[in-house]
Structure 1
Amino acid sequence: MQLKCVKGDSLRRVTQTKLYFAQMKSKAEFGFLQPPSSSTTKKRNRPKVRGRRLSYEGVSSLPDCVTYEPAFLPPSHSEQLMKELMEVIPFRQEEIKIFGKLVKEPRLCAWYGGAYKYSGRALKENPLDSVPQLASLRDRISRKLDLDLNSVLINLYRDGSDYIGWHSDDERELGPSKDDIVVASLSLGAARDFRLKRKDGAGNPISITLESGSLLIMRGETQKLWKHMVPKTKNVQQPRINLTFRFLHQVSTGSPTPKDGQTKRAIVRT
């Protein structure tokens, strides 16, 4: 596994993650990749978000602009893909600008696509087709969405202490309209909670569990009306990889264009 710009505690956790995968010798040791059985999963006290309880109705509580497919990839494919990506992707811990201050992201990441800037961070052009596994996933998800995806941001959550806070993927550089942004988010590895809340404060925040091999698609008014996050948890010790595919405008020459004249845009986080 290739890793750069990681120091101190981050290096220790990355080393543990690498050793974890190096020691795996059978499918049984990949048990964490499978969704937990409802009969063996302990009930947890439902956390509150600013005084309001989360909605745990699951997929049925999602807004119409968000769809969830729990088994987009079969377990065997998810397992193998997780191992391969951990070996070939050069994950890094980057810095982003928040309220004018540079802070380290609480996760590792890698970018494949055209050059792009967000939150004070410059992403250099990095050909997606240089990694066959990513190109194959892009093509499969593109066919599903009937959209020529051309970029992917990959997040590595080393364990439950890695997270991403509340945000919307509505950067100004993506265009004036927030109604046509499309995000295709594929999860591999440890199951993690994913939360959504309305920007206007209406209703209760929604929480669902993103399982290994699942595909979450956010489109329409998602980025305009909602924020989302992956919170910290003490209950997860294993790594998770999240791949967010999108169509990125203003990329280098030679990048594909949307099908049938569509003007879909995509995001840079999640």
Structure 2
Amino acid sequence: MSDGVSLPDLTPLRDWFSSYCNSFRTADLEVQRNFDLKQEHTRNVCRDALLIAQGMGPRFEMLAEVAALCHDLGRFPQFRDYHTFKDSDSLNHAHLSAQVMKQHHLLDFLTDQERGCIEVAVRTHNAFQVPEGLPALTADLLRLLRDADKLDIWRVFTEYFNAPEAERASGAGLGFPDLPGCSAEPLAAVSAGNMVQLSTLKSLNDFKLLQVSWIYDINFAATFRLIRQRSVLEQFRAMLPRDREVLDVLAQVGRYLDEKLRDAAA
């Protein structure tokens, strides 16, 4: 794939996305707050995808924005029909996003290869790990989308946690109870340098640890720099219990982040 001189104009796709979001509008303020959350999230993932993709070529930057714009289309019918963003209690929102994308022929302006790359990136952006054996372009696009998605999910969650309860988008906490402390399994996973499995969570604090563990899954130097600039780890440290084992695993993730930033600067 070469970076051609003329790039497709994404204005029609951006306009379609706005119309799509508007089609879910409701007078129920609580439900609408969750739709607004996902519309803002998508716009921020587009912004962050472009920040990460800088210098990777104009065609790749364009594909990064298209993937970001489409990645959470399934969140809207998911919340409308199930009143949750928790896939295990409803359906796989990434698979639904890929279906919506196909139903509306959103990628018809791209080459077959590019369309295939974006379909895989959208359908698997929420997988626990990047699948093996993907073509290089698909793998790069998927890794970039996962990085950009995490960057804004961290913002969404810290804003959710710090907002008055009456102003919180109900879906953002995935329904976990706000219990003291952290469970042993999530702590052990972070301590071992692994990502936390959603199935091991028992509380909102465990969910915070899961999000901290995503730092182990970051792929691009630009993303590590944005994590540092936005004080992501510091914000989670302020939200988590001051228990010794929690502070220890946070310090370990901090050392990992420092090491990645040193490597990027070398």
TM-score, normalised on structure 1? 0.27
**Structure with the bigger percentage of helix:** 2
